[in-house]
Amino acid sequence: MIRFAEKNTAITGVGMSDVSRGATGSALALTVDAAIEAIADAGLTRADIDGIATWPGERADGSGFSPVGCAALQDALRLEVNWYGGGGEAPGQYGAVFNAIGAIAAGLCRNVLIFRTMYEATARKTAYANALLREGQRQAGPFSWYAPYYTYAAALQQALFFNLYVHKSGITPEQVGQIAVNQRRNAALNPKAIYKTPISLDDYLASPIIATPLRLYDCDVPIDGAAAIIVSRMDVARDLRNPPIRIEAIGSSMRYRNSWTQLAELDTQAQPRVAEMMWGRTDLKPADVDIAQLYDGFSFHTINWLENFGFCERYGAKDFIEGGRRIALDGDLPVNTGGGALSGGRLHAYGAVHEACTQLWGRAGARQVKGDPQICATSTSGGPLAGAMLLVRD
Amino acid sequence: MTEAPPRILPVIDRDSEAYWTWGREGRLAIHRCEDCEYYVHPPVPFCPQCESRKVAPEAVSGRGRVVTFTVNHKAWVPRLPVPYVLALVGIDEQDDVRIPCNIVDCAPEDVTFGMAVEAVFEPSGDLWIPLFRPVQS
């Protein structure tokens, strides 16, 4: 029998710093808060951590996108590890988790600390006012092809994918708006969420258009904050204080052109092949999933993942989310139960993993999904990046 | 009307130089395999279809169709004139070669999926930036 390495790993603890639109502490201080909380949550001590991973690694560019890397956190906590890794060339933000699974399978680690730190709220008040591009500097890398065309933000570039999706699917703004409305409703029940005041569909429709079809409320909110998780080898996990949340299956493939311009299926992006890989590594089916924490850098990512995970047919998300009942906390498939990145704050997929574990451990308080959810599908990223995980609490 | 902010220019290398400079002569340069005639974009001196190394820039017609687009309404930086259109254009010779561009000489509300367009070039610094406009003839 094939033994997939992820099945020998589990999430055993989670932590999250304060999340705000302007932190009083440094990015490293936030990271330490999240890490220490995750280690303690697992019932471990610093001495038990023998691996560290992050995505995309430290970027000391003032953008706040990833101000803390493995080395800074290792030194702050004086960890002694056998393996560490942080790098951006990966299947989206979950690349750090997938690498940790490999390190555990290789016998390098028993308990890996994985974290993601954002300091974009502070950065945007200072040097990096919303721009991917900086005047006077030439642009290198994959976005160089977009550079001359006033492509200042991810919103503008990814709107190209979403507008084609709208054209092909016929989804209406009233249907799209259910994602933002649902998540704001969930955020109101999450003490750590940034935006807690409910919004109506009319509020959504009245929010300014950024780049068609994206409205302001379709976009995630930059924050200062950090999240951390502990991924442990299964035999170790079984002796720790929380019921292990098994990593049942992952999708990490790059069986498509990894390009922001030449990706073959622009409207579905890279997600279908990645989801297909994940479902190929488990006997579970979409109908078995209790809750979903789906990437929501933009609401359309969530809509795309609903289809690409197989929760509904291709171009069927418009009917699935119509009226918002199915994706609500008491619906058939509660989605982004903590408010997601749109209203909870942009912890860039690690907020989603934190919320998945919070729900699966029954700790979500006023927003706890009823019926003792055990299985969560979670995903990250858009465009040519995509990663997927199926989490199961024993 | 105030002048738009300068376009941000790409770093160019030996592979991408033709793409960003042949506009001086009004030509759109796309790498093409001499052996199997496949267009390779972004430009790489290797053909993924037949493994030939004889891949070099060649002028294409400059005609294509709008594969997808967005109308940007947010002024991301001071003096940015909005709205404007960002698009991906598939070239007529091989529609999976997609070219990011602004659509010009056309009101943003008149841009449509599948619209026939042709390349025009705008000098900027030492480069010639490909843009597309509705086919004129």
Domain ranges of chain B: 17-134
Tell me what ipTM this predicted complex has. Answer: 0.97
In total, the C-beta contacts within 8 angstroms joining chain A to chain B are 120
H-run or E-run covering B91: strand B84-91
Chain B contact set for A139 (CB, 8 A): 8-11
Question: Can you give the length of chain A in residues?
Answer: 394
Q: At A342, list the tokens.
A: 């749109």
Residue of chain A whose alpha carbon sits nearest to that of B75: A210
In a domain, A141, yes or no: no
Q: Answer whether B117's CB lies under 8 Å from B133's CB.
A: yes
- Topology at the third CATH level for domain B17-134: OB fold (Dihydrolipoamide Acetyltransferase, E2P) (2.40.50)
Number of domains in chain A: 2
Closest CA to A291 of A393, A217, A387, A383: A393
CA–CA min distance B33, chain A (Å): 18
In a domain, A134, yes or no: no
Chain B contact set for A208 (CB, 8 A): 73-74
Average model confidence (pLDDT) across chain A: 95
Residue A65 sits in the same domain as residue A190: no
Band of pLDDT at residue B71, cut at 50, 70 and 90: very high
AA letter at A104:
I
Chain A contact set for B8 (CB, 8 A): 133-135, 137-139, 147-148
Residue A27 sits in the same domain as residue A55: yes
Residue A103 sits in the same domain as residue A162: no
Instruction: Please give the Cα distance from B100 to B89 (Å, whole number).
Output: 6
Tens of pLDDT, residue by residue over B95-137, are: 999 999 999 999 999 999 999 999 999 999 999 999 999 998 6
Return the pLDDT at B1.
Answer: 41
3-state secondary structure string across B49-84: CCCCCCEEEEEECCEEEEEEEEEECCCCCCCCCCCE
Is the pLDDT score of A272 beyond 60?
yes
Band of pLDDT at residue A65, cut at 50, 70 and 90: very high
In a domain, A370, yes or no: yes
Q: What is the mean predicted confidence (pLDDT) over A180-206?
A: 98
State pTM to two decimals. Answer: 0.96
Closest CA to A53 of A74, A67, A37: A74
Residues 163-182 (A) with a CB less than 8 A from some CB of B: 163-164, 167
> What CATH number is given to the structural domain containing A80?
3.40.47.10
Closest CA to A358 of A16, A75, A128, A65: A16
Instruction: Please give the Cα distance from A232 to A97 (Å, whole number).
Output: 11
Interchain contact B6–A (C-beta under 8 A): yes
Instruction: Please give the Cα distance from A200 to A132 (Å, whole number).
Output: 31
Q: Which residue has the higher pLDDT, A383 or B53?
A: B53
Return the pLDDT at B2.
Answer: 56
Interchain contact A207–B (C-beta under 8 A): no
Q: Compute how many other C-beta atoms are within 10 angstroms of the C-beta atom of residue A187.
A: 27
Is the pLDDT score of A38 beyond 60?
yes
Interchain contact A370–B (C-beta under 8 A): no
CA–CA min distance B122, chain A (Å): 10
**CA gyration radius for chain B?**
16
pLDDT-above-90 percentage for chain A: 91
CA–CA min distance A266, chain B (Å): 9
Is the pLDDT score of A133 beyond 90?
no
- Which of B10, B70, B98 has its CB closest to that of A212? B70
Q: What is the mean predicted confidence (pLDDT) over B22-45?
A: 98
Instruction: Please give the Cα distance from A231 to A248 (Å, whole number).
Output: 13
Is the pLDDT score of A1 beyond 60?
no
Q: What is the mean predicted confidence (pLDDT) over A100-112?
A: 98
DSSP states of A254-287: --S---TTT-S-TTTTTHHHHHHHHHTT-S--GG
Write phi, then psi, for B66 (nearest 5 degrees): -70, 115
Identify the residue whose tokens are 């030492």.
Answer: B126
Is the pLDDT score of A64 beyond 90?
yes
Residue A71 domain boundaries: 5-126+224-237
In a domain, A133, yes or no: no
Cis peptide before B48 (omega within 30 of 0): no
AA letter at A190:
N
Residues paired with residue B32 on neighbouring β-strands, in sequence order: B39, B56
Q: Answer whether A300's CB lies under 8 Å from A176's CB.
A: yes
Residue A266 sits in the same domain as residue A288: yes
In a domain, A146, yes or no: no
Chain A contact set for B97 (CB, 8 A): 262
In a domain, A196, yes or no: yes
Residue A367 sits in the same domain as residue A268: yes
In a domain, A145, yes or no: no
Band of pLDDT at residue A127, cut at 50, 70 and 90: low
Taking an 8 Å cut-off on Cβ atoms, the answer to whether A148 and B10 are in contact is: yes
Residue A368 sits in the same domain as residue A288: yes
Return the pLDDT at A173.
Answer: 98
Domain end residue (candidates: A237, A271, A292)? A237
Interchain contact A124–B (C-beta under 8 A): no
Taking an 8 Å cut-off on Cβ atoms, the answer to whether B70 and A160 are in contact is: yes
Cis peptide before B83 (omega within 30 of 0): yes
Q: Which residue has the higher pLDDT, A129 or A230?
A: A230
Taking an 8 Å cut-off on Cβ atoms, the answer to whether B68 and A163 are in contact is: yes
Residues 128-147 (A) with a CB less than 8 A from some CB of B: 129-131, 133-135, 137-140, 144-147
Closest CA to B93 of B13, B35, B33, B52: B33
CA–CA min distance A256, chain B (Å): 13
CA–CA min distance B11, chain A (Å): 5
Q: Compute how many other C-beta atoms are within 10 angstroms of the C-beta atom of residue B30.
A: 23
- Measured in Å, how far apart are chain B's first and last C-alpha atoms? 30
CA–CA min distance B5, chain A (Å): 9
Instruction: Please give the Cα distance from B106 to B96 (Å, whole number).
Output: 24
Residue A83 sits in the same domain as residue A168: no
Taking an 8 Å cut-off on Cβ atoms, the answer to whether B72 and A130 are in contact is: no
Band of pLDDT at residue A130, cut at 50, 70 and 90: low
Closest CA to A225 of A190, A250, A197, A198: A190
Q: Pick left, alpha or beta for residue B120 (phi over 0 → left; psi -120 to 50 → alpha; otherwise beta).
A: beta
Residue A229 sits in the same domain as residue A275: no
Interchain contact B13–A (C-beta under 8 A): no
Return the pLDDT at B5.
Answer: 87
In a domain, A137, yes or no: no
